[in-house]
Amino acid sequence: MSDRPPQTPAQALSMGWLWLSLTCVGCNHRGEIKFDDFRIGQSAQPLARLLRKAKCSRCGGRDFNMTIATRLTEHGQPFPHHLPIECEGDAIIAARRN
Ligand SMILES: [Zn+2]
């Protein structure tokens, strides 16, 4: 598994990432979205641009700690992988926070 973060939902799926997890910095509310659930028209768009529209459903905050993850499966990954990410302009980069 490469630690170079994917730049679009389609690329994430092709690299084996399945989930995007967002934790609101303001209220700690946590949400997850499957890369599969992005609509066709969104899957080739820059993830950073899509994330800019994200808004916490509890407090309306727009600042999130973000992690992408694989899923533990019987025949897939032997263990889950997680990669904290952040946006830098229209690019997704590996987060520097840990
Ligand atoms: Zn919130």
What is the model's pLDDT at position 1?
Answer: 46
Average pLDDT for consecutive 10-residue bins of the chain (98 residues)?
A: 81 92 97 92 94 95 94 64 92 83
DSSP 3-state of 84: strand
- CA-based angle 56:61:67, to the nearest 5? 60
Ion ligand 1: protein residues whose beta carbon lies under 5 Å: 24, 26-27, 29, 56, 58-59, 61
Give the amino acid at 5. P
Amino acid of residue 94: A
What is the pLDDT of the chain when averaged over all its residues? 89
Distance of CA 25 to the CA centre of its chain: 15
pLDDT, tens digit (0-9, with 9 covering 90-100), for 14-41:
998 999 999 999 999 999 999 999 988 8
Measure 55 CA to ligand 1 centroid, in angstroms. 8
